[in-house]
Amino acid sequence: MEEYRILAPTAILGYGFPLSSFKEGMKRRPHLIAVDAGSTDPGPYYLGAGVSFTQRRAVKRDLAIILKAAIDAGIPVTIGTAGGSGGQPHLRWNLEIITEVAAEEDLEFILAIINAEIEPEQVYLRWKEGKTFTLEPGPELTEDHLKNTLRIVAQMGVEPLIEALNAGAQVILAGRAYDPAVFAAPAIRAGFPRGLAIHLGKILECAAIAATPGSGSDCLFGRLQADCFEVEPLNPIRRCTTLSVAAHTLYEKSDPYLLPGPGGLLDLQETSFEQIDERVVRVRGSKFKEISPYRVKLEGVRRIGYRTVSIAGIRDPLLINALDQVISEVKARVSDNFQQERLVYFLDFKIYGKNGVMGALEPSPIPNSHELGILIEAVAATQELADTVCGFARSTMLHYGYEGRVSTAGNLAFPYSPSDFQTGEVFTFSLYHLLEVNDPRELFPYEIQKIKGRGLSG
């Protein structure tokens, strides 16, 4: 095979794509349709709660188009980080949608489901053996971290996906996966260089975000050869440039030349970007350097409480100028009010229009706006306690008397009634570490199911 062609429909399954772009991709006779279905970008909640951050209807729409086109064309589909976070509940959720689509579209195919969730006890044993490693600048892994961790996923590389393809899978539904892996694995299996395949996967995993104007809701097409790859957007309003493709290569990376992943590094020290025509970029020179022993990344979460928030705005220039002092005094008032109960809670005020986005890192913390938005957040061990702290902080600030205040009405403008919102459980990452393995496949067992038009059988 001289060329391996990959269609990336969308940046994340459920983000959607224009049908016209997808059809243009299918006209180019791809060997594979691959799509990433998740990310840690939305934070730890979705892994902890076992739910998806993309909506079911949107995911089903994308899958219906992708699966029907792939089965009709006789090409594989690979889906990575199923359900948004790649744990067992996310796999089950995504499997249910695939089964529905197969029944409604009368599709038959061999499905491989690759698990990526591992038990905390298993990680604990590896930790005791000295097989876990800190990802700088994160903290060292401790026994306390592990004891309080609710769910852990490991990030698979290309090897478990290749194994599933070798077992006859036509569609792969994978748990947590290294983002480029679902794009690169079939190409590596077909004999193409690992470095170029992974680099192409790095570009394709966010689809047309690597084009200009960029979009996570549009398609991108890749052509992989023995010594290079090319990327092309499928919507005529977009084009790939050397700048847009090189910039996306650096996306979410701390080193411009060495990009770590499962089992090694993507080495870009000799990589070049060439503009082939107005819309297509060619990339050469990317290599993969294996690192022994093989290590995979772990992602684990623990519950830290429940959250309640209140959204408000302020317009008085006197309050805007005195806001830091007022917030400090409101926090002190809350602490004093519940001092005898010795309540444990977290209380925060995010000020949009001042430093709500960057916080203490904001280089221009003095607001120049005539109005500011305030988000009051309380986190505590129970929802009732979070409600109490948030409500008391909100009412205290609403009626707080600051110097020069004339009106005795409220200081805050609330866009909604009720003013306070329960957001439920709050999670934090308790594991973001590396784990040494003897075999790249050992943490990622798979099962094969035959999907029939009206159901599935093991």
What are the chain's domains? 4-116+155-293+438-457 (no CATH), 304-430 (3.30.70)
Residue of 416 and 341 predicted with greater confidence = 416
Q: Which residues contact 196 (CB under 8 A, 6 or more apart)?
A: 224, 227, 228, 229, 283, 286
**359-399 residue pLDDT tens:** 999 998 888 899 999 999 999 999 999 999 999 999 999 99
Print burial letters for 316-350: b (CB count within 10 Å at least 16), e (below 16). Answer: beebbebbeebbebbbeebeeeeeeeeeebebebb
- How many CA within 13 A on the CB side of residue 152? 24
Q: Extract the tokens encoding 447.
A: 């099962």
223 DSSP β-pair partners: 5, 230
pLDDT band at 198 (very low <50, low <70, confident <90, very high): very high
- Centroid of chain to Cα 416: 30
Average pLDDT over residues 233-238: 98
**163-194 residue pLDDT tens:** 999 999 999 999 999 999 999 999 999 999 99
Give the separation between CA 92 and CA 113, rounded to whole angstroms: 10
pLDDT averaged over the chain? 96
**284-299 residue pLDDT tens:** 999 999 999 999 999 9
Q: What is the predicted pLDDT for the residue at 127?
A: 95
- Global pTM reads 0.93
**408-455 residue pLDDT tens:** 889 999 999 999 999 999 999 999 999 999 999 999 999 999 998 864
**Residue 6 one-letter amino acid:** I
Query: Does the pLDDT value for residue 456 go beyond 70?
Result: no
**Residue 316 one-letter amino acid:** D
For the chain, percent of residues with pLDDT exceeding 90:
92
- Give the dihedral sign, CA 44/49/55/56: positive
CA angle 101, 42, 150 (to 5 degrees): 85
Average pLDDT over residues 66-70: 98
Q: What is the predicted pLDDT for the residue at 368?
A: 86
Give the separation between CA 134 and CA 86, rounded to whole angstroms: 22
CA dihedral 68, 203, 223, 9 (to 10 degrees): 20
Average pLDDT over residues 238-250: 97
Q: What is the predicted pLDDT for the residue at 104?
A: 95
State yes or no: cis peptide before 137, omega within 30 of 0.
Answer: yes
Q: What is the predicted pLDDT for the residue at 458?
A: 47
Q: What is the predicted pLDDT for the residue at 377?
A: 98
Query: Does the pLDDT value for residue 29 go beyond 60?
Result: yes
